[in-house]
Structure 1
Amino acid sequence: MRSVTASFPEIRKLLKIAGYAVLGLTAVIAAGLVYYGGQKWPDALPRASSISIVVITVALNFLAETRWIYPLIAKLTKRPLVHGLWAGHLTSDYGVREGRPPLAPIQIFFVIRQSYLHTSIESHTQTQESYSTIEHLEKSEKTGAGHLEYVFEMVRTAHSENKITIGYGKLRLLDQGQSMSGDYWTNSPTQGQLKVVLVTRDCEEINSFESASAVAEKLGQA
């Protein structure tokens, strides 16, 4: 079952817009039925209202489920746009507590699929994959900065490990939404930093490190 990423104020805003849209469309349809269809207002209004509710419900469902890839709509709704393939590196303090030298930066790809209500996050490195289980995306009313927070699970196979690790990440959108930077923590316990840049909004067929790397290399951002 997918979790809803939109906050309560965002859902309330969507419902308010839908309410106004139903009223406006009802008035237009009813006027058409009266002045062009020869119906009387008491008959036209219920029919127009029913048609409007169906039309707006279908439109809302389309908006809620369609891929969130249009910057203009994202700007108008003040909903951060994170859908796409992101490429970058992570640093980790793995083994440092045991006196080992820090690991070199690790190449990582994020595949984020987003609609108005839902967001899913996959990350891919050469040795492990992770999938988000809880996501939260918001835009600060005070600063206008977008933040993406998520809980994830990953199967660790590096360094002879074979276990599931739970983690939490928090990223901030930078450079007008073209890059993200932040921190992550896991129950290993490890922690580190992430920095990724947007490669492309087209990410539907990407599901592995190899496919992500091929797309990034093709677009000159490997």
Structure 2
Amino acid sequence: MMTRPQITAFLTLSVTFWVGLLALKGTPLSWEMLAPFGTVVGAVSGVMLLFDAWAWKLPIFRGWLIKRPYVHGTWKVELQSDWVNPETNEGVPTIHCFLVVRQTASQISLRLITEESSSETVSAGVEACSDGTFEISCAYRNKPKSMYRYRSQIHYGAMLLSVESATPTRLEGEYWTDRKTTGSVTLTDRKSKTPMTFNEAQALYQS
């Protein structure tokens, strides 16, 4: 979303061209014509803030003004990793966890929460593909709870999700980490709320 200084600069440039064209046409000009400028900047800033946070989700704006999938909320996740437990030298079964997505028109953040750790995005973005689908990519930092760090240290990774429509009901993707592990993720059953902890997310689906 444009910041207030950017909006001010854009409107100033627009007004400059507008005044210049009026002058070329011989239209009488006065300083009073610029008196509402500050009010206009404030109004435009407010409208853009409202649009970025909420109005962009409305169907009337989707597809032509905003080409972005709506994935905000909490998703059930099935995570399959090729990580090998150093204590048993065996792989791990499918991990059932949650992905919390917070989204506006201009920004998106993702937090993957399991019983043992939380992964928060360092950077994330949404790209529209030529075939009408989308991709969500992110880099993240994983922080295991302190009781598990003797076998699972803080690490970084990246994830790529494929989004087949503007209002998906299922997402699939894969991830990589700097511990040289990879895996796949499947997201289903989205809820609109955005809890912070694993227990809160679990309670959301049990209610």
Deviation at 1:74, TM superposition (A): 4.2
Q: Which residue does 1:161 correspond to in 2?
A: 151
Deviation at 1:71, TM superposition (A): 4.7
Q: Over aligned residue pairs, what C-alpha RMSD do you find? A: 3.3
Deviation at 1:214, TM superposition (A): 0.9
CA offsets per residue over residues 104-146 of structure 1, 9 Å max, x none? 1100101111112222211111111111111111222x21111
Instruction: Evaluate the alpha carbon distance shift between residue 68 and residue 168 of structure 1 in structure 2; reply closer, same or farther with a 3 A threshold.
Output: farther
159, 174, 178: which one aligns with 2:164: 174
SS in 2 for 1:117: coil
Structure 1 consecutive aligned stretches of length 4 or more whose deviation exceeds 4 Å: 40-44, 157-160
Question: Do 1:169 and 1:182's aligned partners in 2 also have CA atoms closer than 8 Å?
Answer: yes
**Larger helix proportion, structure 1 or 2?**
1
% identical equivalent positions: 18
State TM-score, norm by structure 2. Answer: 0.74
Q: Which residue does 1:120 correspond to in 2?
A: 109
Question: Do 1:84 and 1:113's aligned partners in 2 also have CA atoms closer than 8 Å?
Answer: yes
Question: Do 2:123 and 2:140's aligned partners in 1 also have CA atoms closer than 8 Å?
Answer: yes
Q: Which residue does 2:82 correspond to in 1?
A: 93
State TM-score, norm by structure 1. Answer: 0.69
Q: Which residue does 1:60 correspond to in 2?
A: 48
Equivalents in 2 of 1:186, 1:137: separation in Å? 20
Q: Is the counterpart of residue 148 in structure 1 residue 139 in structure 2?
A: no
Equivalents in 1 of 2:106, 2:175: separation in Å? 24
97, 119, 124: which one aligns with 1:135: 124
